[in-house]
Chain A
Amino acid sequence: GNSVTQMEGPVTLSEEAFLTINCTYTATGYPSLFWYVQYPGEGLQLLLKATKADDKGSNKGFEATYRKETTSFHLEKGSVQVSDSAVYFCALSPYNFNKFYFGSGTKLNVKP
């Protein structure tokens, strides 16, 4: 079946610290992988995506690489800011982006 496992939070970091949020998946076929972010009071926003193995998605300083051999899609950022405080969801879509399987979310708190 299809599922996503991501590290539990909350994760608390100081500003300018390095961020890693782990995400692993199980899937049938060759899924596309995504990171979504939910800022307080808002809906989920697509942060980045990768559609095939070894692709790297990047946006706003965040990066994640589609690793088929380890079935992983870890989110990284070299220097977090207070404004990055949010809940981050890893997700996969096994076909055509029509149905997403999400992880449980990781809350990130960045302190000044």
Chain B
Amino acid sequence: EAGVTQFPSHSVIEKGQTVTLRCDPISGHDNLYWYRRVMGKEIKFLLHFVKESKQDESGMPNNRFLAERTGGTYSTLKVQPAELEDSGVYFCASSQDQGESEQFFGPGTRLTVL
């Protein structure tokens, strides 16, 4: 069974540009999460989807970030326009059920904003 995949693995963009990150969860997992690790600091929660609905988006830093999960399968996270402080590693995770269900993480997308 394939794990959580993320694309691209690394993105380098100029300040002010737009970037879209993609996450493909494990097949059949209704729950999808986005996290971010900035500058080697702690990994911070961004948001949680249950199928196509946003269950919790309390961690989204500002309105330059837009997450979607149309059809309840893969998800995209768009940053527009990107700022220097958006640089970091963006992780996606998925889980089958809510409650005591393990979250499986992807390898992350490293975003560098110059």
Residues of A within 8 A of B (CB): 4, 32, 36, 41-46, 51, 89, 91, 96-105
Contact = CB atoms under 8 A, between A and B. Distances in A.
B98 A96 contact: yes
17 contacts: A4-B42, A44-B91, A44-B93, A45-B105, A46-B102, A89-B43, A91-B43, A96-B98, A96-B99, A97-B103, A98-B48, A98-B56, A101-B42, A101-B45, A102-B37, A102-B42, A102-B44
B31 A43 contact: no
Interface residues of B, number: 29
B48 A99 contact: yes
B62 interface: no
Main secondary structure of the interface of A (DSSP, over half): loop
A-B complex: 5 closest residue pairs judged by Cβ atoms: A43-B105, A102-B43, A44-B105, A104-B42, A43-B107
Contacts of B40: 104-105
B43 A43 contact: no
Contacts of B98: 96-98
A33 to B, nearest CB: 13
Interface of B: 3-4, 31, 33, 35, 37, 40-45, 48, 55-56, 91, 93, 95, 98-108
Interface hub of B3, B37, B104 (most chain A Cβ within 10 A)? B37
A43 B108 contact: yes
B91 A43 contact: yes
Contact of A100 (B37, B99, B103): B103
Contacts of A97: 95, 98-103
A42 B37 CA distance: 15
Contacts of A102: 35, 37, 42-44
B51 to A, nearest CB: 14
A96 B100 contact: yes
Contacts of B95: 97
